[in-house]
Amino acid sequence: MSAIIENNQLPFSTKFLQFYKDRTLLAILLSLFAVMFIYGIFFTENYLTITNFKAIIRDAALYGIMAIGLTFVTLSGNFFLLSLKETASICGVTFAMGMATGFGSPDLAGNFLVSLLAALAVGVVSGVIQGYFVGMGGNPIVVTLGGAGILYGIGAWWSDNLVINFTRPHDAEWLGTGSFLGLPSITWSFILIAIAAEIVLRHTNFGRKVYLVGANKAAGKATGHENFSMAIIVFTICSVCCAFVAVAFVAQMDSAQSNYFSAEFGSSGDMTILVIATVMVGGNSIMGGYGSTLRTSLGAIFIAMVDNMMVLQGFNSGPRIVGVGLMIVFSIIVFGLFAKGSRAQE
């Protein structure tokens, strides 16, 4: 028996409160940024230098791009793609194979476009297959764990567990180590991908469907939005993001090995954990339906800042991985405390 109010305009204060309520987590994250930043300025040497900031956004870009891909999976209620680093691994090997050998035809050796397309194609195929099984009703954790084993195994088998080298100069340098207007190419890629992802989520029907299906799969099916096609698309987006990061990383290293993303990557070791941490720290709901890629991007920069500071303070990789683990736990606690009020209660 709610009365209809003809006045469509909300009072400003209501709008502001609504805005703030929706963004409690964002506000918390931003204040944490400020704390980190001030701490860095006063207590860490070499913190406030341009070189250091470039290092931070470069690190953030690598796992940030993968995390943006993973955000689509998480928002759509399909939990996580646990084969992140294995997908990157096989795509990296594919790319290096193309650059080094041209897949057996010497004419193509070193051809950047062919190698890139081959790596992306591997990403698409693995994403579609895993998405298909999840869409058919498979548990995403089990399906993608299985996928992880298979993808890693094929990459290691194909490359004989060897490091595949290709020498400089090569056509992929611009992506690996090049920069444009003072920022590394990979950072530009991160910015462009982040903007594109945010537009897709906010302003397209596909983006809306991601949220709706993530909020309630059964209601999604009843309104004509099935998780089957959704799972295939989001897993493919995520896998392609992995492939792209792998290509950029391999181009930077001039070589690839199937273990690169387990041990050598970045500074905090295991890439899958790092990327999942990024999505979590951004404050996206694990159950789906709530969050954004903007949060993920901020999460990536936040983790990179913390990690960078720990490096400058002289911590080795052990404590830094502990740091990432703590951030996951912390974000779950914060999310549990603050998201409850805004989530629907029966």
On whether the CB atoms of residues 219 and 225 are closer than 8 A, the answer is no
With CA atoms as reference, report the closest residue to 75 among 179, 206, 166. 206
Residues 6+ apart with CB under 8 A from 135: 226, 227, 228, 229, 230, 231, 232
**Minimum distance from residue 237 beta carbon to another protein (Å):** 15
Q: Does residue 342 bind another protein (CB under 8 A)?
A: yes
Q: Does residue 346 bind another protein (CB under 8 A)?
A: yes
With CA atoms as reference, report the closest residue to 276 among 203, 209, 199, 332. 332
On whether the CB atoms of residues 131 and 234 are closer than 8 A, the answer is yes
Tokens representing residue 99 in the block = 């650059």
**Minimum distance from residue 24 beta carbon to another protein (Å):** 14
**What sign has the CA pseudo-torsion 328, 334, 339, 345?**
positive
**Minimum distance from residue 103 beta carbon to another protein (Å):** 36
Q: Which of 16, 39, 167, 203 binds another protein (CB under 8 A)?
A: 203
On whether the CB atoms of residues 120 and 126 are closer than 8 A, the answer is no
Q: What's 48's DSSP letter?
A: S
Q: Does residue 345 bind another protein (CB under 8 A)?
A: yes
Region for residue 118 given its phi and psi (left: phi exceeds 0; alpha: psi -120 to 50; beta: otherwise): alpha
Q: Which of 4, 34, 50, 181 binds another protein (CB under 8 A)?
A: 4
Q: Does residue 283 bind another protein (CB under 8 A)?
A: no
Q: Does residue 215 bind another protein (CB under 8 A)?
A: yes
| Pick 3 or 34: Cβ nearer another protein | 3
Q: How many residues bind another protein (CB under 8 A)?
A: 34
| Pick 219 or 326: Cβ nearer another protein | 219
Q: Does residue 216 bind another protein (CB under 8 A)?
A: yes
Q: Does residue 195 bind another protein (CB under 8 A)?
A: no
Choose one: 182-190, 231-239, 243-251, 337-345; the region binding another protein (CB under 8 A). 337-345
